[in-house]
Amino acid sequence: MYDYFQKTPLDETFYTRFLKDRLPARLIDAHAHYDLPEHVKNVTAEAIAGDWALECGLLMSYEDACAYYRTLLPDTGVYKVALPWPLRDVDTHANNAYVSRLTEHAEVRSLLTTRPEYDTALVERTFRNGRFSGFKPYPYMASATKGAEVSIFEFFTHEQFALANKLGAPVLMHLPRAGRLPAPENVAEIRTILDRYPNVKLVVAHFGRCFNIEYLERALELFGEDIHRFCFDTAAVLNPAVHKLALHELDYRNILFGTDFPILLWHGRREWKNGTYVNLCRENFGWNKHYYPEDEPNYTFFVYEQLKNMLDLIGDDEEKKKAIFFENAKRVYFDYPQGGQQA
């Protein structure tokens, strides 16, 4: 476990006051990354220093994840969707094999990370033999630049989409491009996926990277009714304005709760302005500018802030709460036959 992960009396008070009696008895974290040190040994110090997310958390074994969840959510049964780390410097084959083995635990399902150069027959064999429950492609497999101006089909090819379509499989998609979900190219390519590969269960991660509300507002305009044809997860989205708009405009049955652990295990908040955000935290990461040191003792866990935002907006609607925190991810990942539908 990370040394910086400490539950304070303030966290205990926050949990008791705002979360304990409002959380469902069970939830599914539909977006968290699992690995071992040997899987990421080739990720360079320079790469870690250049990416705030990697500095926060590049390692999380299943055992550590269980300890984190027990500490954070002691009264909730947490089911898990296990993702490998989708970086080119990671030993992808070994990391895929590891998350596949985690499905020996009944509360775990795993997704397969692919590379665009992988032979489709190999991908299908790995998917079926590993009893995977979906795919996790990532733009880094085509470019090491965050928000790179690459096509979705450059890192998850049409041949791989055709395989996912044959398998009727979920695909958890981290979108490329600086324009995020409403980038015209992303809108066009998502529509292509929906029309050409109708059996794919498309889940767009991080609300399409709409961490700021203006991106989601624009996406709603551009997609129109098509925005209801695919799902989203909430991973790493803390903005209450985004949560409010999403819960108002999207079908709640298409929203899956996710954390993005181990990246977001720290104490902090976010500020949003001018189309971007600033992470505020009390831990001494290299990127932390300590803008408001006087406020830092009052920061609770990032995920506690996320959960409170969502629970405040959901209110007393128990059906919506159960759907977002459990039933939707169960339908997408846990009800899917492990290893894929037979052709």
CA distance 62 to 81: 11
| Residue stretches of the chain with pLDDT short of 70 | 144-147, 341-343
Looking up residue 329, the CATH number of its domain turns out to be: 3.20.20.140
pLDDT digits (tens, 9 = 90+) for 291-303: 999 999 999 999 9
Asked if 134 and 170 touch (Cβ cutoff 8 Å), the reply is yes
Q: Which of 102, 196, 165, 168 is nearest to 336 (CA)?
A: 168
Q: Is residue 282 part of a domain?
A: yes
Q: Is residue 340 part of a domain?
A: no
Q: Is residue 2 part of a domain?
A: no
Q: Is residue 161 part of a domain?
A: yes
Q: What is the pLDDT of residue 144?
A: 66
Tokens of 211: 């961490």
Angle (nearest 5°) at CA 111 between 172 and 80: 95
Q: Is residue 251 part of a domain?
A: yes
Q: What is the pLDDT of residue 148?
A: 79
Number of structural domains (the chain) is 1
Q: Is residue 4 part of a domain?
A: no
Q: Is residue 309 part of a domain?
A: yes
pLDDT digits (tens, 9 = 90+) for 98-139: 999 999 999 999 999 999 999 999 999 999 999 999 999 999
Domain that holds residue 181: 9-334
pLDDT digits (tens, 9 = 90+) for 24-39: 999 999 999 999 999 9
Q: Is the pTM of this model over 0.95?
A: yes
CA distance 131 to 110: 8
Q: What is the pLDDT of residue 146?
A: 67
Q: What is the pLDDT of residue 1?
A: 85
Burial of 53 (0-12, 13-18, 19+ CB in 10 A): middle
Q: Is residue 54 part of a domain?
A: yes
Residue 207 Rama label (left phi>0; alpha psi -120 to 50; beta): left
